Chain A
């Protein structure tokens, strides 16, 4: 299962790769793991204190928030994207606050691949690019683990060949 590709970009020339659809399932699972204890806790505390209606209302609002977030998860996944250009990597992200970062290969100090417990469950990984600037934090979540490793190797190879001093 490779990363999806789509043909659209800020200047229409980039081939953007977006995270795997499994990222949405991963985010849903994370959302579920946060909301379900909250729902259980609010209902049970409502029953315990005798204010059952309040408990149900609290649980309902939690569920409603989770539902709205869940609908937005697909958009948020598709907002992520990266394009490997000749001399730099372009990463885009965000729905409300849109960001596009351009990182020259020669400026990458090192590239990380991390996978938390949830990500491992879905066979995904996050690639993080680090430059000497603390502000340029670029990461690409939700890549299939093999793709992430391949991307890391590609980036480090390009970085080593184009390395520039500070």
Chain B
């Protein structure tokens, strides 16, 4: 298939960020390409309403088959499951019928909704990331969901569901269109390069090591501790087992779920490099494929929990604007950011960090010695600094953290001074990047230095932005 031809109807400058996009054109030109309206895969009617319907149908079949054998005829069968299943199926069918999408002139358009019709437009030059997600049921049927992430979180495009091949192919085309849009944004509609299947696998996470790292994470060790104390309680006071069993179940659910999510999301994670960006593929039951476009990383964080220190393991997380592939289910996971390297040696972590943030050579300096009075434990690990492109800060006595922020992503700069800091002549600088609670804190610097930074950093950020928009 050839890339999109220029679409005369919808070419109303979606590239100008200040200009509102054109209203959706309902009578689209009929072309044998993606610029014509498309439907999702018909089976999405079934998958979308989920396993509930399938279970209901299976239950109905089982009971009616049993009834048919025993009583002859379906009079004995329970109709309620069938009614529920049929209702859900009709809902799914209607959703499928009223949903359509097309890709034209650098804008992905999705229309959906029966009573409350919605037309969503996603300008490709502002896409933050593109993911292919395959939940369990969809995986069985060979389907996949394509998710387009924009900044701001609320606006997210879902194409659920497409066949896996179609989803992968569409993702390739979207990515190609994205990079073409970004590079030559003054020539709308030029035929871009074909979707490049050439990508080199950078690394794959070893399953044993991932399991080991999870086993040595704080919550897993705490779970083991709880199990031991539960057994101990059983020996010492058998009467109290009932009460402590409830607590144990709650603990397992509370602590085990995040562990399970991490396992599910990071198992067999493979990171590969391609012209469009870094591709991340992972998953045990629900597989996902994400693409991190170059220059869309808001912050990068290297973490080493206390329990990983004997092994020298590090974890690398990146924050991209917009919601993560895990969606809104898991607030903690969203806050933690996407693991680029769930577990790896210091050299590996350093290597991938440099790959994501090229040219990161920042000389970080420690704060003045009097910070020991304010943060006696943290003091020894605290450093901060910045150069023309990045700011970096390290902190944490037990859990070691290094945060990188590209200066061209900084949204605002804050200077904060509490009463104790004022007495000691200190101040902190916060650099805020897009997203929820995404910021780096250059903590407890000398007050003069901090105010110098406060007035010089905006200029540096502006310069970094100017370089970034040119390159």
Contact surface of A with B, Cβ cutoff 8 Å: 10-11, 87-88, 96-104, 106-107, 131-136, 138, 160, 163-166
Contacts and interface: CB of A to CB of B under 8 A. Distances in A.
A133 B417 contact: no
Interface stretch (B100-108, B165-173, B366-374, B429-437): B429-437
Contact of B461 (A99, A104, A134, A138): A104
Question: Chain B at the A interface: mostly helix, strand, loop or mixed?
Answer: mixed
Interface in B89-134: 126, 128
Contacts of A132: 151-152, 321, 411, 434-435
A101 B413 contact: yes
A133 B413 CA distance: 11
Contact of B412 (A96, A98, A133, A165): A133
B412 to A, nearest CB: 3
Interface stretch (B53-61, B218-226, B449-457): B449-457
A3 B436 CA distance: 33
B451 A11 contact: yes
Interface string B453-470: 011011001100100010
Contacts of B413: 101-102
A104 B408 CA distance: 12
Contact of B411 (A87, A96, A131): A131
A97 B430 CA distance: 14
Contact of B462 (A96, A100, A104, A133): A104
Contacts of A101: 412-415
A135 B437 CA distance: 6
Given A10-B451, A97-B417, A102 B457 contact: yes
A99 B439 contact: no
A10 B432 contact: no
A88 B458 CA distance: 8
Listed from nearest, the 9 A-B pairs whose CB atoms lie closest are A136-B412, A132-B434, A133-B432, A133-B411, A131-B411, A100-B415, A136-B432, A135-B432, A102-B413
Interface of B: 17-18, 126, 128, 151-152, 296, 298, 321, 409, 411-419, 422, 430, 432-439, 451, 454-455, 457-458, 461-462, 465, 469
Contacts of A103: 411-412
Contacts of A97: 416-419
A133 B416 contact: no
A55 to B, nearest CB: 35
A87 B412 CA distance: 12
A99 B416 contact: yes
Nearest to B434: A132
10 contacts: A99-B414, A100-B454, A102-B458, A107-B412, A133-B434, A133-B439, A135-B412, A136-B411, A165-B17, A166-B128
A88 to B, nearest CB: 5
Contacts of A99: 414-417
Contact of A164 (B417, B437, B465): B465
A130 B172 CA distance: 34
Contact of A136 (B152, B414, B455, B457): B414
B257 to A, nearest CB: 25
A91 to B, nearest CB: 9
Contact of B321 (A100, A106, A166): A166
A8 to B, nearest CB: 13
Nearest to A131: B411
Most B CB within 10 A of own CB, among A103, A106, A135, A166:
A166
B24 to A, nearest CB: 23
Given A132-B321, A132-B435, A164 B415 contact: no
A133 B458 contact: no
A131 B432 contact: yes
Given A96-B418, A102-B457, A133-B433, A160 B18 contact: yes
Contacts of B409: 166
Contact of A10 (B128, B439, B455, B465): B455
A135 B151 contact: no
B412 A102 contact: yes
Most A CB within 10 A of own CB, among B296, B412, B430:
B412
B454 A98 contact: no
B197 to A, nearest CB: 28
